[in-house]
Amino acid sequence: MSIEPDEFEVWISILRHDVIEYKYEYEPGEFTVYPELWRPLFDEGLTAEQAFERALASFAKDRDEEVINEDDDVAITQVLQENNP
């Protein structure tokens, strides 16, 4: 008996591989995905690509408001935490 992944696990896999690594060309392991931070965007019904684009837009907005001197994945993770209390 095999256990099928739930929809969120599939969505996270698409986010990691198809969106972050393939479309945005991050190397495997270069961008850390914390599933708990992405769950609210999944629950809103966004596709993995829409969620990442929203996170990038939030990151860009924050970056425009102040200089962020950290790696992109750390900064985007912070934006996700701030926008998903």
Question: Average per-residue pLDDT in the chain?
Answer: 83
Q: Tell me: the pLDDT tens digits for 3-44?
A: 567 999 999 999 999 999 999 999 988 888 999 999 999 999
Q: What DSSP character marks residue 44? A: T
pTM, full prediction? 0.71
SS3 at position 76: helix
* Domain extents in the chain: 7-83
The Cα 8–Cα 78 span in angstroms is 21
Predicted local confidence at residue 7, as pLDDT: 94
Predicted local confidence at residue 80, as pLDDT: 76
Listed in sequence order, the residues at least 6 apart from 24 whose beta carbon sits closer than 8 Å to its beta carbon are 52
Residue from 2, 37, 27 nearest 12 by CA: 37
